[in-house]
Each structure stands twice: as structure tokens, then as C-alpha cells.
Structure 1
């Protein structure tokens, strides 16, 4: 009997954890696909594929050609187009699919959050909140802030950001996880008075939010795009394993 083939659209910590959990089960073939936007992706168990599929139709063709039995979209919560393509490809091929999406953040006592729907809205709000900005929204999309010539930006990213970007920008290349003390030191060293980030959820942004709360700094939080109509999300790896009927930790071969 051919192994059960599961395709993971990856790029997140949860995707790596899921691949590790699935490869622990006999009779399961795991392929993780990465878009290739990060120069040095972390190690992934199972098979690895780098690069796009060519939209929903290209993904559907790949699902058929590789006899995929189950599709998991475990991409970043802001990978809107990839998620839309995954939902469309799953529907057109009849391949069962699930979206692995970590829960979003909720404000705690002392937080000074300003929630917005886009980077453009974040940029419009910034001049009213501060002058020295820590921007942790990723290496793409900095053009939304390029016109803010009176502000000073510290941009933190895993890989070098793409221009255009604000004229007064210092780039910090760093990969987490970071502790709250790390983030406090960063905010103080650069005299940051406002933080801009995306609602990536889970532990991915907890340290920076905790540090901002301790310093009573305003946070501009970009909300997640909505999931496609009819999308089927689960919050964690255990939820995906349950959908697959594989239970918990699995058994090593």
C-alpha cells in the first residue's frame, strides 16, 4: 500500500512541529512546501519543496500529480494569497484540507493597542503616536511607510528588507525567539516610543508586546486578513493530528 501523502504549506514553527509529528507515524509521507522568501529556513523533517506552485491551478495540478491525500495550510496568518489558493485547490481536486492557524493575540491590562486593518492604516496613525518606531512587520510592505520622512524607524527582519523604505531607517537582522528582557533592552537602546507589528499570534510576538506593556508604549497592531469563506481552521498541531485520525505523539518506525 502506498504511504498516505500529506502536503504541508509551511514557513511557521507550527509547520515544522507538524512535520516532525507526522514523520513519527509509519505509513505517512510528509512533504513541506516553502515559498522560498526566507534565505535560511529552519530544518524540516520529511521531504522539502522550495518555490511557488503557480497559483491555485498549479497547486491543484501538483496535488493530483503527487497523489496528495491531505493538505495542511500552515503558512503565516498574513499569507493571504497562499491560503486562498490552498482553499481553491483543495475544492477543485476534492483533497481534504485544513488550515492550521495559531490563535491571535488579545490585549491584557496595561496594553495600549491601536488596531488597524492594514499597513497603510498603521502608517497614517503613526505620526500621532510617536517619533521613533520599531517596525516588526516583516521585510515586505515597507513602502507603506516610505513617505514618513519625519519619523525614525528601526526595522527588524530575518532577511534584508526590500525597498522602498523610510529614509531614516536602521535595519536590524535578527531571528527570534526573543525574551521580554531582550525586547526591553532593544526598546530602551533605540529610544523607541511606538511599536508596529502584525497579529502573528501565539508566542511569536508575546515578548515584544510584554516589553511594550512594561514601558507603557503604544502598539499599532495590524489585524489579520479574514480567512476565505468556508475555510476550516484548527488552532494547533494536535488539532491537525486529530483531523487525520493520528492522535497524539505517534510511533517511531
Structure 2
């Protein structure tokens, strides 16, 4: 299970209890905006805290979400602390760490998405890019051109002969925000990575957005991907 820590005014990190870790992790996995933590053993005024996530990780004392996209707010005083999530290490038997025996065995998504440019004269413009999800490396690669299936598999396996990516989005401990970017770009979402950088992406349909979000969230949490069930064979026609 992932662990959570909050940072005090002296920049020292303090671990939450195992029970609080479980509550916070459950909320994180459920994509909740906030939860209430009650600590009755604390002195008065230090017993109730809100943990806020994603774009909701704001308070009067911290008007902008931190790079971790999680904060703790004292309900009584409004005192705010940054919270960080430390993902549990992947086990050696993790499917995401195992090289796929064939292309069809690997459920990781690949294909075209739109990416909003963050620099240059086209800053802010939506550009079509080819993306390959690489769970083994906890990253999302993107390319200017489309790749053949063999090239996709080379990227998945971190093969030295794989085509060079135009860019890499690190997913470990990233926060995947499901809301449309600026509330305007249809089927869009964003990925906030540790360090404060944010990537805006958009799919070409609601179904594709949901499929990408499901896998991106799993990889960011360190979970295994679940292969799609095999298609149901068609019944033979009689007569």
C-alpha cells in the first residue's frame, strides 16, 4: 500500500498512521476531492483535518495546488500542509514488470492523442501526437509520427533499437485529473507530475478518454494493467 507524509513548517516530513494511510489511499483511488480525518487523541484544535486532492488541493493559505496535488488543512485554524504520496514498490511478479511474450499479450494502450504545446510559437495549440504507454518504465512516450506494432513493442520493452521518442511523461506518483482542460476542450484531461509540471491531453472520443484514464491511473498508482477479456465467440447460426 502507498504511504503518505505531511510536511511541517521546518520542511520535515511526518508519516501518517497506517489507519490514516488506508483512508487516504482509498480516497485517492476513488478520485475523491477531499476527505475528513479525525484524530481524537490530539489536543483540541488539532483533531479534525481535511485532506484535499487534485485541483481541490487549495486553501486560503495555499491558493494554488502544490506539485503533489495533495494537502492537509486544519479545519479549526486553516493551517495547511503539503502531503505527498509514496507509491509502494512493484513486486517482482508484477505483470507490468514482465516482458510480454507477444504483442497481443500486452494490454497497454497506444495510439493518437492531442497534446497541448507548452512552449514555442505554437504554445497553447493542440497538436496530434502518437502515444505509447510503457508500464514497465511508468511513463508515457509520444512521437511525431505513428508507429508500427513492432516499433510499439520495442518501446514497451525499452529495446535499444526502439525509435526515439519526441518526449516522455513520467507517471510514477503522477496525479491524473479527469476534468476537461479549462472546461472547454472536449474529451481532454491532464497529468500533473511531481515537480509541478502539467501535461494537457485530449482523446478523440469519450470512450477513448475513459480507456486512457483507466490505464494511466493504474500505472501512476503502481497497479498492474488488466487485460481486456477475450471476445465472446459468435454463436453458429442454425438452419
**TM-score normalised by the chain length of structure 1:** 0.28
Which protein is richer in strand relative to its size?
Answer: 2
**TM-score normalised by the chain length of structure 2:** 0.30
Larger RCO (CA under 8 A, 6+ residues apart)? 1
Which protein is richer in helix relative to its size?
Answer: 1
